């Protein structure tokens, strides 16, 4: 619990820095550190699989892709002019924030055993996955067995992303 | 096109880090049923190690021949995943219902275990190939095509 506030502070600092900094390579690395702090938050909340994916993809692979993209373009965002914020945004965004904070009061507490999410089908997975699949990691059992069709479609999405990048970027070959 | 890095420190460290990263990727892939990790993360770690080889040694170097040759496996991971589902359908069940995988001398839970392992390998192959493919696509330079064709004949 003592680590949560410094980590959230670090998240806000790195997210703001990645938006505000002018040098785009610095922005990419700040975004990588943001992903790493977010991975620590996930690990602190007990979602180790999500933390692993966030650390590997957000801080590792996405940083490399951003850098490779920047090498093809320019490293400074001097051509992008930030216009003054329109007045509907100035009025609407704080209202949206207040609305979200008001809605967050109705969310169940962290680890609440009687919330809707933990009473519907999660107990079935938690109780039966070891006997059904001999897989101690419940997340893997749900992803690859109970919900394997979703994972199949996600694999198709990744495959399509690779194909689309090759079709768009590799011209003339 | 990515040119090889000329720093001795980077090249030497790359030779140490890349095999360790690949070994860790395989460990995460195989250990995904017992701990955090799985096919997606393992594939991303393997892809990151190969992208590191491309960035350090250059794409035409013999040291990154594995990253070049893995591109021929584009779609192989998806084929493994869909093949397991198809085997379940051949066995008389629904698509990706591992109960009907029909492996002799195995009980139902072990068939689910084998099914999860095979589909995880499929996801890992797909993600690794796609990661390396996107990195090569992003570093593809249109201006160097005539020079390459001229130099090779």
Give B85-90's long-range contacts (Cβ < 8 A, gap of 24+): B85/A148, B85/A152, B88/B115
pLDDT at B148: 47
Which residues does residue A60 pair with via DSSP β-bridges, in sequence order?
A: none
- C-alpha dist (Å) from residue B56 to B6, B14, B81, B142: 8, 7, 32, 21
Closest residue by Cα to residue A145 from B102, B124, B118: B118
d(CA B3, CA A170): 17
Contact A133 B116 (CB under 8 A): yes
pTM over cut 0.95: no
Task: Provide the 3-class DSSP secondary structure of residue A23.
Answer: strand
Reported as a single tens digit per residue, the pLDDT across B30-78 is: 998 898 888 899 999 999 999 999 989 888 888 888 888 888 888 899 9
Contact B138 A169 (CB under 8 A): yes
Q: How far is A110 from chain B (nearest CA, A)?
A: 21
Closest residue by Cα to residue A53 from B78, B45, B67: B45
Contact A132 B40 (CB under 8 A): no
- List CB contacts (< 8 A) between B109 and chain A: 131-134
- C-alpha dist (Å) from residue A155 to B48, B119, B137: 18, 10, 19
Reported as a single tens digit per residue, the pLDDT across A56-89 is: 999 889 999 999 888 887 777 665 566 787 889 8
Dihedral through CA B119, CA B123, CA B128, CA B132, nearest 10? 140
**By the CB < 8 Å criterion, does A73 face chain B?**
no
- List CB contacts (< 8 A) between B110 and chain A: 134
Contact B133, B49 (CB under 8 A): no
Contact A155 B55 (CB under 8 A): no
Which residues lie below 8 Å from residue A73, measured CB to CB, with a gap of 6+?
none
Contact B66, B53 (CB under 8 A): yes
Distance of CA A167 to the CA centre of its chain: 27
Contact A32, A63 (CB under 8 A): yes
- List CB contacts (< 8 A) between B135 and chain A: 64-65, 68
Dihedral through CA B4, CA B54, CA B22, CA A68, nearest 10? 120
**By the CB < 8 Å criterion, does A86 face chain B?**
no
Reported as a single tens digit per residue, the pLDDT across A115-141 is: 888 888 888 998 988 888 888 989 999
Q: How far is B150 from chain A (nearest CA, A)?
A: 14
Is a pLDDT exceeding 80 seen at residue B101? yes
Give B102-105's long-range contacts (Cβ < 8 A, gap of 24+): none
Contact A61 B47 (CB under 8 A): yes
Is a pLDDT exceeding 90 seen at residue B82? yes
Closest residue to A53, CB basis, from B41, B48, B122:
B41
Under the banding of pLDDT at 50, 70 and 90, the label for residue B121 is very high
- The residue with tokens 């209202």 is A95
Tell me the backbone φ, ψ of residue B31, rounded to 5 degrees. Answer: -85, 0
- List CB contacts (< 8 A) between A60 and chain B: 44-45, 48
């Amino acid at each position: 619990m003592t680590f949560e506030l410094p980590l959230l502070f670090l998240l806000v600092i790195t997210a703001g820095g990645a938006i505000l900094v002018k040098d785009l390579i610095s922005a990419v690395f700040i975004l990588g550190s943001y992903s790493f702090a977010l991975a620590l938050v996930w690990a602190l909340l007990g979602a180790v699989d999500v933390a692993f994916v966030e650390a590997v993809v957000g801080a590792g692979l996405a940083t490399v892709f951003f850098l490779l993209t920047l090498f093809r373009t320019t490293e400074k965002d001097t051509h992008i002019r930030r216009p003054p914020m329109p007045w509907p945004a100035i009025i609407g965004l704080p209202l949206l924030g207040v609305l979200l904070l008001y809605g967050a009061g109705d969310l169940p507490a962290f680890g609440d055993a009687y919330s809707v999410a933990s009473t519907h089908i999660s107990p079935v997975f938690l109780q039966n996955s070891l006997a059904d699949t001999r897989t101690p990691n419940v997340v893997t059992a749900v992803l690859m067995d109970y919900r394997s069709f979703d994972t199949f479609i996600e694999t198709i999405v990744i495959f399509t992303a690779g194909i689309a990048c090759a079709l768009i970027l590799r011209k003339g070959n | 096109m990515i040119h090889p890095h000329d720093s001795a420190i980077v090249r030497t460290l790359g030779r140490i880090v890349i095999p360790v990263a690949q070994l860790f990727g395989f460990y995460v892939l195989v250990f995904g049923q017992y701990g955090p990790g799985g096919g997606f993360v393992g594939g991303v770690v393997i892809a990151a190690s190969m992208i590191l080889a491309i960035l350090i040694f250059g794409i035409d170097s013999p040291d990154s021949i594995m990253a070049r040759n893995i591109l021929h496996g584009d779609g192989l991971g998806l084929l493994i995943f869909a093949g397991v589902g198809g085997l379940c359908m051949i066995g008389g069940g629904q698509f990706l219902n591992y109960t009907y995988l029909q492996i002799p001398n195995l009980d139902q839970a072990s068939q689910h275990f084998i099914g999860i392992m095979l589909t995880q390998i499929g996801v890992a192959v797909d993600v690794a190939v796609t990661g390396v493919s996107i990195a090569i696509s992003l570093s593809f330079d249109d201006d160097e095509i005539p020079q390459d064709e001229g130099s090779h004949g």
